[in-house]
Amino acid sequence: GTMGFEKAWLNYYKSDNLAMRDYFTVVTYNKDDSIVKSAVLELTTAAKELFSIDIESSLCDMKSDVDKTRKGIHFQIGDNKDLENEGYRISLADEMLLIEAYTSNGILYGTFDLIRSTILGADVHSFNRTIFPKNPLRMLNHWDNMDGSIERGYSGNSFFFEHGEVIVNERTKAYARLVSSVGINAVVINNVNVRGTATNLITNRYIDKLKQIGEIFASYGIKLYLSLNFAAPMELGGLTSADPLDEEVRLWWKKEVQLLFKEIPSFGGFLVKADSEGRPGPFTYQRTHAEGANMLAEAVKPYGGLIIWRCFVYNCKQDWRDMKTDRARASFDNFQSLDGDFAENVILQVKNGPMDFQVREPISPLFGGMKKTNLMLEVQIAQEYTGQQRHVCYLIPMFKEILKFRTYCKEENDTVFDIVSGNTYGNKNAGMAAVANTGNDDNWTGHDLAAANLYGYGRLSFDPDLTSEEIAKEWITLTFGMKEHVIDYISKILMMSWPAYEKYTSPLGIGWMVNPSHHYGPNVDGYEYDRWGTYHKADHTAIGVDRTKNGTGYTTQYHQPNQELYGTPETCPEELLLFFHRIPYTYQLKTGKTLIQHIYDSHFEGVEDVEEMVKLWEELKGKLEEVPYHRVLHRLQEQLEHSKEWRDVICSYFYRKTAIGDKKGRELY
Ligand code: GCU
């Protein structure tokens, strides 16, 4: 809770990698800033915990004082431009392990790599590599409110805010270590929905505490960002408008942002949710998103600041009779025509799919749809629609599919990864963001296995070439130790978890069959008959919305051949069939099964998968520490119960709608 917290994957067990032991005896470094100090501190901790060694450390220059004939580690920051952008090189120079970098962040990442590799059993001769983070920004977005609650938070309360105040304590530092160890370099600490007290975060009222957080973050190479309220000139400044073209408003912002940048050298800029789900924005003044974003961009530009502007803009009050409005189209319709209008220090942050973090969605067509605009990918590791950290759902395989998706915006280098890393169009303001899944629970993420998503997101945004299995294996070994069966079984559980969740929840890309507002548990028609409607339009013959050119036209937002691929039920990837098409229950799928039979089968299979996950976990009894073993067992048992509820609610809904029974004769209610 509030006081206690665990070390998660930085919980070092004694290592039997004895060949590496001798290197953890001395560390020298040629530059002594706060980040390098952190790297030295990390080596000191690792040496102590892995090998019970008190490492010696000292400042000295490679050229003159470093003794290369003695085993040890040396950090060398130099002018090797090849290592720009947070890269590092680890190699064996005579007897010494050398970590070279151009930036201090490079040294820190090299150090975490060295520690991790040592734990994973690396041989010293394997160190001969040059590594760069592949995304410039590797960001976490916390949706923490100042009263201490977390919007879509499933692991306790905020460790950034409490009772309307900013908090700084040991946990702040532990957090910085944790996320920096996987390469995170930017963090937004407050919710995108900025209301009430949170509007004041940009004023001098909270500056002392923010400065302290800024310093802690900075020493781990992390820039601090805040979410802001577009209507702040009115709410705080007493102006009569927040019109982005109003000179007074522009001046107000310029003055207001000075403080943060001046007081917090590592302040990065702002994240903005505007004209979205009731938040204020430029629409009120008949201005475009570009005009809104550019006004703020101009204000932060003198300090090298960034404006990250979210594209989650849609009509959340769509009338059910209105067959033309399609929420899926909304981001593209709102932003695509503004391509080229945004300032250089604006990045548009686009959710992975056109809806909202469902278990299965197509890729947002804004990726590939904008060529002269900086884009960033937004994913959610808070499992809002994927089991809320009560169900295990390892999301890294999903994120890999997203990154690999070919948009066909160009002949090559056209994947989502290429676009958001800056490869496609050569832009440097780009990267990835994830809605964070942490809170003040002892284990940080509620479900112990949900920490794999936090770890995995960081590692993947740093190096998208890592496989989901590699990441899982790293995380398991670091968290639970290098133990027989532990790695195999937990890997297996993680790797089967996303498919399992998909099977027992909403079928074939349709999404949304959850209870409105809190979004946990099955409710097929919950959003069907809600004011905030998002529709599947199921009747007794068919289900789904035609989003092709004959329907809402959503598919035309993609380049060819994707447009064509999604355009017919025959060519559409089946996992997305009901997202793009309206399909009769008797339609025959590629497996030869009818749609209705597929719904029954997948739901029974999903529950069987969870049964297997429980069994695999039970096999680990005695091999893991008691507390985490029981915590996870408890959640898996609950998941099993809830997956049965999903199965039964979904199956009986479709059974009663269609009056078609299960071919396999299983009991449907
Ligand atoms: C979802 C989520 C909200 C959140 C919103 C957003 O709709 O349910 O809680 O505010 O996304 O991303 O802004």
Q: pLDDT tens digits for 272-293?
A: 999 999 999 999 999 999 999 9
Whole-number pLDDT of residue 530: 87
70 DSSP assignment: S
pLDDT averaged over the chain?
Answer: 96
Helical segments of 60-140, H only: 104-119
CA-519 nearest atom, ligand 1: 8
**How many other β-carbons are positioned within 10 Å of the β-carbon of residue 61?**
13
pLDDT of residue 161 exceeding 90, the answer is yes
Cβ 585 vs Cβ 660: under 8 Å:
yes
Q: Whose CA is nearest to atom 7 of ligand 1?
A: 356
CA-276 nearest atom, ligand 1: 13
CA-143 nearest atom, ligand 1: 10
49 DSSP assignment: H
Helical segments of 264-342, H only: 289-300, 330-335
Angstrom distances, CA of residue 631 to CA of 1, 626, 635, 636: 14, 8, 7, 9
Helical segments of 481-625, H only: 486-504, 562-567, 577-580, 595-618
Q: What is the average per-residue pLDDT within 123-140?
A: 96
In angstroms, what is the span from residue 327 Cα to ligand 1's centroid? 14
- CA dist 447 and 145 (Å) reads 21
Half-sphere exposure of 651 (CA within 13 A, CB side): 26
Residues 84, 277, 319, 465: which is the catalytic one? Answer: 277
| pLDDT band for position 188 (cuts 50, 70, 90) | very high
Cβ 517 vs Cβ 584: under 8 Å:
no
Q: Give the binding-site residues of ligand 1, using a 6 Å CB cut-off.
A: 151-152, 192-193, 273, 312, 356, 384
| pLDDT band for position 69 (cuts 50, 70, 90) | confident
- The residues that bridge with 427 in the sheet, in sequence order, are none
In angstroms, what is the span from residue 372 Cα to ligand 1's centroid? 27
Cβ 365 vs Cβ 387: under 8 Å:
no
3-state DSSP helix/strand/coil percent for the chain, to nearest 5? 40, 15, 45
162 catalytically annotated: no
In angstroms, what is the span from residue 363 Cα to ligand 1's centroid? 18
User: What is the end-to-end Cα distance of the chain in Å, rounded?
Assistant: 41
Whole-number pLDDT of residue 62: 74
Evaluated on CA atoms 447, 452, 453, 458, the torsion sign reads positive
For the chain, which domains are there? 8-131 (3.30.379.10), 137-318+326-470 (3.20.20.80), 503-545+582-658 (3.90.1330.10)
In angstroms, what is the span from residue 277 Cα to ligand 1's centroid? 8
Whole-number pLDDT of residue 390: 98
- CA dist 579 and 510 (Å) reads 5
In angstroms, what is the span from residue 104 Cα to ligand 1's centroid? 35
Whole-number pLDDT of residue 2: 54
Q: What is the average per-residue pLDDT within 445-469?
A: 98
Helical segments of 505-561, H only: none
- The residues that bridge with 138 in the sheet, in sequence order, are 432
Q: Whose CA is nearest to atom 1 of ligand 1?
A: 356
* 556-582 tens-digit pLDDT: 999 999 999 999 999 999 999 999 999
90: Cα separation from own chain's centroid = 28
In angstroms, what is the span from residue 571 Cα to ligand 1's centroid? 32
| pLDDT band for position 399 (cuts 50, 70, 90) | very high
- The residues that bridge with 187 in the sheet, in sequence order, are 140, 224
Half-sphere exposure of 464 (CA within 13 A, CB side): 23
- Residue 196, sorted as left (phi over 0), alpha (psi -120 to 50) or beta, turns out to be left
pLDDT of residue 61 exceeding 90, the answer is no
- CA dist 129 and 601 (Å) reads 48
Determine the residue of 144, 149, 152 to mutate for testing ligand 1's pocket, defined as the one with the most ligand atoms within 8 A of the Cβ atom: 152
Whole-number pLDDT of residue 1: 55
144 DSSP assignment: B
Residue with tokens 């060529």: 371
In angstroms, what is the span from residue 225 Cα to ligand 1's centroid? 19
Query: What's the chain's length in residues?
Result: 669
| pLDDT band for position 394 (cuts 50, 70, 90) | very high
667 catalytically annotated: no
CA-191 nearest atom, ligand 1: 10
In angstroms, what is the span from residue 378 Cα to ligand 1's centroid? 12
Question: CA 518, 520, 523, 524: dihedral to nearest 10 degrees?
Answer: 100
Residue with tokens 């700084």: 168
Percent residues over pLDDT 90 in the chain: 94
CA-435 nearest atom, ligand 1: 12
333 catalytically annotated: no
Q: Whose CA is nearest to atom 11 of ligand 1?
A: 356
Q: What is the average per-residue pLDDT within 86-93?
A: 96
Q: Is 534 exposed, middle or buried (0-12, 13-18, 19+ CB in 10 A)?
A: buried
Encoding tokens for residue 663?
Answer: 């071919």
- CA dist 633 and 660 (Å) reads 37
In angstroms, what is the span from residue 356 Cα to ligand 1's centroid? 8
Grouping H, G, I as helix, E, B as strand and the rest as coil, residue 431 is strand
CA-351 nearest atom, ligand 1: 12
Angstrom distances, CA of residue 542 to CA of 33, 252, 337, 587, 658: 64, 55, 35, 9, 9
Residues 243, 378, 384, 414: which is the catalytic one? Answer: 384
How many Å is the Cα radius of gyration of the chain? Answer: 26
Q: Which residues of 439-450 are buried (b: 16+ CB within 10 A; e: fewer)?
A: bbbbbbbbbbbb
In angstroms, what is the span from residue 202 Cα to ligand 1's centroid? 22
Q: What is the average per-residue pLDDT within 22-34?
A: 96
Whole-number pLDDT of residue 318: 80
Whole-number pLDDT of residue 206: 98
* 294-349 tens-digit pLDDT: 999 999 999 999 999 999 998 888 888 888 889 999 999 999 999 999 999 999 99
Q: Whose CA is nearest to atom 6 of ligand 1?
A: 312
Residue with tokens 């900086």: 374
Whole-number pLDDT of residue 321: 85
Strand order in the sheet with 72-77: 56-59, 26-29, 72-77, 96-101, 88-93, 128-131
Determine the residue of 143, 312, 376, 435 to mutate for testing ligand 1's pocket, defined as the one with the most ligand atoms within 8 A of the Cβ atom: 312
Residue with tokens 């917290």: 5
Whole-number pLDDT of residue 386: 98
Residues 356, 378, 418, 502: which is the catalytic one? Answer: 356
In angstroms, what is the span from residue 193 Cα to ligand 1's centroid? 8
Phi and psi at 364, nearest 5°, equal -60, 130
| pLDDT band for position 484 (cuts 50, 70, 90) | confident
